[in-house]
Amino acid sequence: MKMQGGCHCGALRYEVQAMPFDADFCHCRDCQQVTGAPVAAWMDFKAENIHWLKGKVTEYASSDNIRRGFCGHCGSTLSYRSLEYPDYFTLNIVSLDEPNVIKPRYHIHTETQVQWLSVADEMPKHLKGR
């Protein structure tokens, strides 16, 4: 299965050639601040399944082992990458052209979930990472 996505302005475009092996909602403070939203939705792939069709994601070190990627033109949050797992690459689900194709399976870092957000789904909720 092939899916495409990209940033808001179109400067970055990618294609994934497989379904993600995992997907989650993250409520950590870093994701909240990077996305400007109370929760981020991520999907995980083997890095070899992601192909950049246009442009290149700009990354910065949000910690010693984490690289967060965004569009250098419009600032859209696109990716998350751990140096501890170089074979994996994480993309923002809503950056897909058809984001309804992928549904997160659980919530992580709910210990920092904003109090005014009520999450009523039946998915597993983890106080920290999984």
The pTM of the full predicted model, rounded to 2 decimals, is 0.94
The domain ranges of the chain are 3-112
Element (H, E) at 80: strand 77-82
DSSP code of 86?
A: T
Beta strands at 66-70 and 77-82: parallel, antiparallel or unpaired: antiparallel
Close Cβ partners of 69 (under 8 Å, ≥ 6 residues apart):
57, 58, 59, 77, 78, 79, 80, 81
Q: How many whole angstroms separate alpha carbon 111 and alpha carbon 98? A: 30
pLDDT (tens digit, 9 = 90+) per residue, 40-88? Answer: 999 999 999 999 999 999 999 999 999 999 999 999 999 999 999 999 9
Instruction: Write out pLDDT tens, residues 98-130.
Output: 999 999 999 999 999 999 999 999 999 999 998
| Third-level CATH fold of 3-112 | 2.170.150
